[in-house]
Amino acid sequence: MSQLILLESADKRPDQGVVEIGFGHKLNKTMLMSPPSKAIVYEQHGSPDSVTRLVNLPPVEVKENDVCVKMIAAPINPSDINGIEGVYPVRPPVPAVGGYEGVGEVYSVGSNVNALSPGDWVIPSPPSSGMWQTFVVKEESVWHKIDKSCPMEYAATITINPLTALRMLEDFVALDSAGDSVVQNGATSIVGQCVIQLAKLRGISTINIIRDRAGSDEARESLKALGADQVFLESQLNVKNVKSLLGGLPEPALGFNCVGGNAASLVLKLLRCAPNISVFVHFHLTSRCAEGKVKECREMIDYLLGLARDGKLKYETELVPFDEFPVALNKALGKAGRQPKQVITF
């Protein structure tokens, strides 16, 4: 098992002839090495704003099947936060570098790598830990080459939320574009916004539930602009005959829950008599992409990137320089109210 070795000073650099790692271990200078890297690391689980810190990492050997990637951008997702807190089902052993998705440019490749070349843009697919650092070394199989024409912020964020939305629409029920609908809570999330747009492209109606809170009128109009057919506050659905509020829309054949509690019961009330309800989480997505479906997932990613490039899939992001990570983290933690998706640029 590889070990994460931390350097505390940016002045610690390999000398020209050999690379020193840990307690005097030396690597022959003929080995291909990555540049030193700066990374957001956590050495124990806990609140991300307390346990994460910026450290300097020594060069890493780029083995024959490895690819060294210079990261361009990586988001801060809820799954990243939950992983650091230690409550997420999929998490690396500590100490660990944060981040599960992002986009980077190939910097160097091992001797057995043929499908990727320096300058290519790549993303980890399935998502892979350790993306919050300037240089990442992983096996070639981890990386998926993408078209550089897609905007950076979408390339960095396509692998988890948009792909989850697409898989939810395709994996559970055969939806009929001639008259089916879906219902979801948490509709203002990135996944929720993607569900609305992807369903619209397929001729499927969406019924969307949002929380009662300040800014809900603006949120409703924003979702309508994306193509939402109906947007309800949770309080509007606390009526006896809730399905009468659907108007001319068909009763939904599929429901998505990301909130739980009363919001989940509202989704169930709106479903047809034989309900199908999915809890959408990154864990499900990781399992789907790991079960012999990597090629299928990557084809879906290319499709989604094409939509984003053509302006048919949109969501708000905020680009933040890497040295301002604490500011972005506070926003991602909700300390500054509702914020766009925080995307770190390297």
- At 100, list the tokens: 């599960």
SS (H, E, C) 40-99: EEECCCCCHHHHEEEEEECCCECCCCEEEEEEEEEECCHHHHHHHHCCCCCCCCCCEECC
- Sign of CA pseudo-dihedral 246, 259, 276, 240: negative
Respond yes or no: is residue 315 known to be catalytic. no
> Which residues, in sequence order, are CB contacts of 83 under 8 Å at separation 6+?
90, 91, 92, 98, 100, 129
**CA–CA separation, 4 vs 10, rounded Å?**
16
Per the residue annotation, which of 42, 88, 100, 315 is the catalytic one?
A: 88
Is there a contact between 318 and 343 (Cβ–Cβ < 8 Å)?
Answer: yes
**CA–CA separation, 136 vs 202, rounded Å?**
37
Q: What are the catalytic residues?
A: 88
